[in-house]
A and B are shown apart, each in its own frame.
Chain A
Amino acid sequence: MTNANLPRRSWIQRWHVKGFGWTALMVLLLIGSSKMTDVNVGMFFSNLDQFADLIVRMSNPTWDYLSVIIQPLIETIQMAILGTTIGTIFAIPFALMAAGNLVHNKFLRGFDRLVLDLVRTLPDLLLAAIFVAIFGIGSTAGVITLAIFSFGMISKLFYEVIETIDMGPLEAMESVGASKITIIWYAVLPQIMNQFVSYFLYTLEINVRASTVLGYLGAGGIGVYLQRSLNEFNYGATAVIILATIVVVLIIDGISNHLRRVLL
């Protein structure tokens, strides 16, 4: 044998004990969870006729409704853009402060990350409910919700990008006698700008989708109309809203995917 010099694989490696073990564990956990939470998969199949019934009712979209929802659809997109932008503006300084390669003060960095972690644990639906209670029904509550949600998400994505940059240019700028802000401007931002824009667009995509749901809680946008049509059993209108939302989300996804491809 030509491979005589190779070491022998152990018994565990030869029979893939680890792989099988983990798979068995996962299956056991799934079965256990469904038992304990009383999830009945059979129910999904036995209620399929309800599903079909809904589809049939929605199969006659009242296209006239389209003229009513154009304005709220635009409002939804505007909410997403505003919320994402505001969140990003606040996220940038926090992301810079959270990056281990820029801030060597462990206390400052730790505090900053704690704040970011806390913000991220707040679900957007909870935020929306709170802000609707504070600001009343309307898009202000939606924009603030999306801003906070984007802030938490973007600051995390951003500081992880910052931590992967090449430190060489920073050293060069330091040796030139540049101040901290100048170093960030000249040596950090050019390295991360493309990824920043890419993550911004990614968050915008998510926010367009999220803002349709937020409207459901009264936070403005298309969601308000979605809820209304469902409550009125006006399934023809619901169908139009869903289809229009899908189209808008697809367009936004397409644009942002294209931009990200061009940028990276």
Chain B
Amino acid sequence: MAAVRTSSEVALNRVAIAAVLVATLVFLAPIYWIASTAFKPKELAVSVPPTVLFEPEVTPFVRLFTKRVQMQKTVDPQVYDAAPWWEKRIYDGGERVLKVGKDVQLSQYPDRFMNSLIVAVISTVLAVGMGTFTAYGFSRFKIAGEADLLFFILSTRMLPPVVVAIPMFLMYRAVGLNDSHIGLIILYVAFNLSFSVWLMKGFMDEIPKEYEEAALVDGYTRMQAFFKIVLPEAATGIAATAVFCFITAWNEYAFALIMTNRRAQTAPPFIPSQIGSGLPDWTTIAAGTFLFLLPVAIFTFLLRNHLLRGVTFGAIRK
């Protein structure tokens, strides 16, 4: 349609593109602020005026991962010289890293991060696994009341977490699943299962039935056709669904806040609890947030062509 382009249209186009660039900068500014604060020296995080450009510093990450105390007196020069470079940076800041013998005492962050990883990965595998089978069932077989069943499945996704959490908390307390990985995994599977069924059904519907029918004619059983023909065809869809489920479980806050407090606590309720009382150390919080957001940012780029499908439960595909 390049035929007629008036000069006013060209001008309008330029203005629109300029506006897009400004909007992008505005939308990315808070994310830049998190990422940059994670590399700031403590005093620059709360400087007036706010610091935009600075020499990056690694101490926020050292502080994030270690337990430290304020030093009462200056450090022995010999000890200082023998310390690794990152530890020297902590001494310079007037703190000492706590150790048992030679071992650095770790903060709770690595544990919480691992909990997030364990819970998100296992719940994703289960939700996507079950969802793939169920989606195939809904895609290929006649089911009485199919629309109602699919609505029922989707409606479980829409339940407000706090509403579900009240009875689940009581039931978990009765069977000792409070503050356990399994308890949280079950909740996340229940939460992601409906999403996984809907999204996978969209992908399954796109695989031509003729493929399996040809295989059945060639002597495959339906199970063989499912595993050898359908699953490989659905690989992209399974991967996209898995990434979405992972991100949802990774980001989830309300269930984790209510159901876990120590052993199985994940990063989202832990990071805000670091604020504590008094003046918060924003660089350390930013470092924890930065590491926590990084996988999601990477996954967003990998998923970019499936985002629309993902956020509409597979209903709108472009």
Say if A and B assemble together. Answer: no
Residues of A within 8 A of B (CB): none
